[in-house]
Structure 1
Amino acid sequence: MIVLGQTSTRTQILNMLKFQGRLAVSDMAKQLGITEMAVRRHLHTLERDGLIQSTLVRQSKGRPANLYSLTSAAEELFPKNYHTLTLELLDDICETDGKEVVDELFRRREERLTNTYARQFDGKNLEDRVKELAELQNSKGYMVEWDKLGEGRYTFVEYNCPIAQVANRYNQACRCELGFFRNVLEGARVERPECKAKGGANCVYYIEAERKEA
């Protein structure tokens, strides 16, 4: 993984593309003080890792040239401050319109998440739905591990919380996540005895199939 605080040649290339936009191999070689062949080797690795992309651009003179730019995956390596904006907006809404409006926003988020992903869970048994939920949360950066404890019983642990800064101040975010889990795991009892926003080491869920009366 590229760490932007380091001064490796590949990191310098990423920073260069971030500051200057699309560049040709010759431009990068000149600025880095290395050969074009050396630059191409680094570009090959970065392209393989999905961090840069090339576009063939026609020149007014000479042959078309490949210009390199960052991909959206590379953009995510640079510092972001989304949570500050989110918290400021929520604070303003809470102050001007009241806590009830914030509650409603998170309720609508839970509903939107359920409507967006419900089809992925339709027709699956509980274990397959737990697996599907783990894959979904992992794609969002939650770093999930789940385990089967016995027939119809599972643990589901999230080692990272991408919305931690928001959840620490607005616990409605945690209730929204729990509600979403219960919606897509319909027919199961879902409890969360440990939550990062409430001082837990991780977010831990217990999932158990509801027992049908004989």
Structure 2
Amino acid sequence: MTASGMQRTKWNKRLLASTRGRILALLRDEPRTVNDLSTALQLTDNAVRAHLLSLERDGLVQQRGMRRGRRRPHLAYGVSPEAEHIFPKAYGALLNHFVNAVSRRLDARALRGAMRDVGYAVAQDHLDRVKGRTRRERINAALALLDDLGGSSKFEERGRKQFIHGRNGCPISALTATHPEACLIIESLLSQIIDAPVKKCCQYGDIPRCCFEIGRA
């Protein structure tokens, strides 16, 4: 890692350990109002507004519409896509170089199989925790595991279909930018944890979005 990279990493750690970092962590889960944040952090509304103003200036927070309040609507805030690089991930540049090297030695089919094998192997370390659990409990365990990997995810039901979405960015975006087949790692992992077929429906580009459809067991 370069000196500037190390400096950036230290800055990120200091930020996340501060009150502003706690605000970012809360907003990463879901958009919140000043009221929500002041209650969660036990700060005054004015103190929260001051932190939000600073985070907005730094391009880490943006307004996300209005929410109905008791007397009047309140602004909701969320993290910006640019803020995602601040949160720690469970991999680094070394992993990206490793996958690049492996992809030069394997054909496309073998590489996809290897990605699925990685997800399967990761899931095996956690299967004891979900043994005998209901489908919804397994889904909740899968969400928690994705959070542990550095992503923030949510469960959604649309009619008879069920999905897991990344809230902001992608937990393995350093890989998916050049190797979209890396999403098969998560697809395989989720399938094992939930004990149901899972199919990736991710969006790629400058700001990747995780999406996995959960099938019926």
TM-score, normalised by the number of residues in structure 2: 0.50
Q: Does 1:190 align with 2:190?
A: no
Cα pair 2:164 2:211 within 8 Å, conserved: yes
> Which structure's relative contact order is higher, taking Cα pairs within 8 Å and 6+ residues apart?
2
Unaligned runs of 5+ in 1: 12-76
Q: Does 1:92 align with 2:79?
A: no
Provide the C-alpha distance between the structure 2 equivalents of 1:79 and 1:127, rounded to a whole number of angstroms: 27
TM-aligned CA distance change 1:157 to 1:84, over 3 Å: same
Tell me which structure has the larger Cα radius of gyration.
1
Partner of 1:205: 212
Cα pair 2:165 2:209 within 8 Å, conserved: yes
Match of 1:142 among 141, 148, 151: 151
Provide the C-alpha distance between the structure 2 equivalents of 1:79 and 1:110, rounded to a whole number of angstroms: 20
How many pairs does the alignment contain?
A: 138
Following superposition of structure 1 onto structure 2, how do residues 22-33 of structure 1 map, counting pairs within 5 Å?
A: none
Partner-residue secondary structure (3-state), 1:169 = coil
1:13-67: CA deviations, max 9, x gaps? xxxxxxxxxxxxxxxxxxxxxxxxxxxxxxxxxxxxxxxxxxxxxxxxxxxxxxx
Equivalent position amino acid for 1:124 in 2: R
* 1:101 shift after superposition: 5.9
Provide the C-alpha distance between the structure 1 equivalents of 2:146 and 2:103, rounded to a whole number of angstroms: 28
Provide the C-alpha distance between the structure 1 equivalents of 2:163 and 2:113, rounded to a whole number of angstroms: 29
Q: Does 1:170 align with 2:172?
A: no
Cα pair 1:110 1:176 within 8 Å, conserved: yes
Equivalent position amino acid for 1:84 in 2: A
* 1:167 shift after superposition: 1.6
Provide the C-alpha distance between the structure 1 equivalents of 2:106 and 2:121, rounded to a whole number of angstroms: 22
Provide the C-alpha distance between the structure 2 equivalents of 1:205 and 1:106, rounded to a whole number of angstroms: 16
Question: CA RMSD of the aligned region, Å?
Answer: 3.8
TM-aligned CA distance change 1:120 to 1:199, over 3 Å: farther
Cα pair 1:113 1:180 within 8 Å, conserved: yes
Following superposition of structure 1 onto structure 2, how do residues 50-129 of structure 1 map, counting pairs within 5 Å?
A: 83-95=92-104, 97-99=105-107, 102-103=111-112, 105-129=114-138
Equivalent position amino acid for 1:172 in 2: E
1:87-142: CA deviations, max 9, x gaps? 222223333x3336644542331221121111122101111111111111112221
